[in-house]
Amino acid sequence: MENGHIGRVTAPTSAYGLRLDQKGNNGKKFTDSSSPYKSCKEKSLLLSFCSWYVVIQEVPTFEATRSLPMIDLSRLEAFVSGPALMEAYLPRGLGLRATIALVGLGALYVFGLVFYRLFLSPLAKFPGPKLAAVTGWYELYYDVIRKGKYLYEIEKMHDKYGPIVRINPYELSIRDPEYYDELYVSGSVRPTDRYKGFVDGVVDFEGSHLATIEHDLHRKRRKPLDPYFSRAGVTKLEPMVADLCEKLIIERFGSLRGTGKVVRLDHAFTAFSGDVINRLCIDDPPNLVDDPEFSPAWFDLFHSGIVSLPLFMGLPWLIHLIRLIPERILARLDARSQTFNKFKLMCDDHLQVAKREKAASGYKGSTLSGGRLTLFRHIINSDLASEFTDERLSKEAQVLIGSGTITTAGTMAFIVYYIASNPAIKKRLQEELKPVMADYPRTKPTWAQLEKVPYLQALIKETLRLSYGTMHRRPRVSPKQPLQFKQWVIPAGIPVGMSAYFAHRDPRIFPRPQEFIPERWLGNVTIEMSRNFIPFSRGSRHCLGMNLAYCEVNYIIAALFRPGGAEFDLFETDETDVIPVHDLIVPLPRLDSKGVRVIFH
């Protein structure tokens, strides 16, 4: 750990991500006569502001400071016994007594904050580590520095403290699958809000249904989206999904047979899922599957965004800071921002065209005559259009396209690995697919027909169990009434979260939970297994795209592993390329993975 220097006191500052260097002007000390700060207020004010701003924001407890470098006490003694030296570092017009008073007030504030969080907060009565109760930097360290590892610390907390723990100054975590349906309820049971601290850091999608905090407003914003993602709505989309699946499996993968080319299936599946959701949402979308390399920039756009999520969630003000940076400068700093800007412009252009067409037609109802009605044309031409500003519609488009791409593609890559790496699983699947896939692609099965293939459904369920859907806790707030969990009364307004990771790996419900065993979903599926299976969450805020994801995965896996289909071998790919080990809201395998790679022959 680097040490910064303020005066003659050696002070560790990198724990706060801030370095205050004693030296400037090519290494000369600020006390040197050549220093432009020798007698200026600016230096002292800057040091005072920076140091106190950081301290006041979050103060580590004694436990956190034990690993920090020791202060040189001999220098400290010389410093405090040298009034003249101290005066040199004080702002003009601010005497020693005033400075000591300010320091004292700062220390009093910090003490009061720590005392409140430990003893007076509504969460003070709940068990958990004191350091987590005092500061959010504890969580930030594990999620930003350790790349999404706080979930495993929460698991240790539950092992030590029990089924309910305080995981930061503001939140509780519960590990009890029996309570899941008590926390994640429909609106008819009670209103449920999102936790603002969670929403603020989910990139820059304020105003979308996903980032809407208040229960009634969320219901209003989600209502026009529900018909498109319902079972009936997705059934209408089947021909489009089936055609895109044929394009990927028959045309693109077929053209790669015998070439010896290494193909990244995670790129291919991300392109496929992107094409599906793009066609649902907007006119004239890009054809990602047609790209010779399956549009790796599209994959990188979402992957890099996922990796940065914990930082933005821990320090949400960074999002507002980035907004101030001109796009041309961002493009120089990170070329991937250009991909995002193109993506954003694509959404904006579609929305503006749809609005102009509505204005020209004078249409007042819910549909326009002629042409394919995309999701956002439907919204713009509905009676609810007045609630959707241009900015909010654009963010809604970005949310739906983003969330409908990366998680579904990850599920496909996961299941393909386990089928391809286990000949017995592959053989059994192919045998069960024979009746419905015998004449493919001349005759395409329906989604309903594929759902009647038991082993295919068992494979999909076991994949979702081990890939989790969303690994991160989903904090919910009961804004009006307290919640009862065992002997604990949780005050209204307190965010409480639960994770699919705990439910899906419960050894009491799923023996040998870390193993991929699709047979567990055949035959007698217990009530407890169904209760613990929550890859899409439940309640009024369950995953909007659940039906579309199931439809896509069924078509892709059936077409890829049908009898007589293209054969391929895994290339330098193992279990670590698919098993999630980083909880970055979206679960990811090891970050240096090169994906699920295959060679068609």
Annotated binding residues for heme: 543
State how far the Cα of 235 lies from the Cα of 258, in Å rounded to an integer: 36
Closest CA to 170 of 477, 470, 472: 477
H-run or E-run covering 570:
strand 568-570
Which of 205, 163, 447 shows the shortest CA–CA distance to 305? 205
Separation CA 420–CA 533 (nearest Å): 25
The sign of the dihedral angle between the CA atoms of 131, 132, 135, 141 is positive
- Give the residue ranges of the annotated binding site: 543
Provide the sign of the torsion angle of the four alpha carbons 311, 316, 320, 321, taken in this order: negative
CA atoms within 13 A on the CB side of 474: 28
Query: For residue 197, what is the enclosing H or E element?
Result: helix 196-199
250 in Cβ contact with 441 (< 8 Å)? yes
**Do residues 68 and 15 touch, judged by C-beta distance below 8 A?**
yes
DSSP assignments along 349-414, one per residue: HHHHHHHHHHHHHT--SS--SSS---HHHHHHTSTTGGG--HHHHHHHHHHHHHHTTHHHHHHHHH
Strand partners, 174: 164
Look up residue 148 and give its two tokens: 């999404």
Contact 28, 20 (CB under 8 A): no
| Structure-token pair, residue 413 | 């890559």
CA pair distance 85, 103, nearest whole angstrom:
18
Check: CB of residue 279 under 8 Å from CB of residue 590: no
Q: Which of 61, 390, 403 is nearest to 229 (CA)?
A: 403
Amino acid at 301: L
Chain centroid offset of residue 506 CA? 23
**Is 274:298 a contact under the CB 8 Å cutoff?**
yes
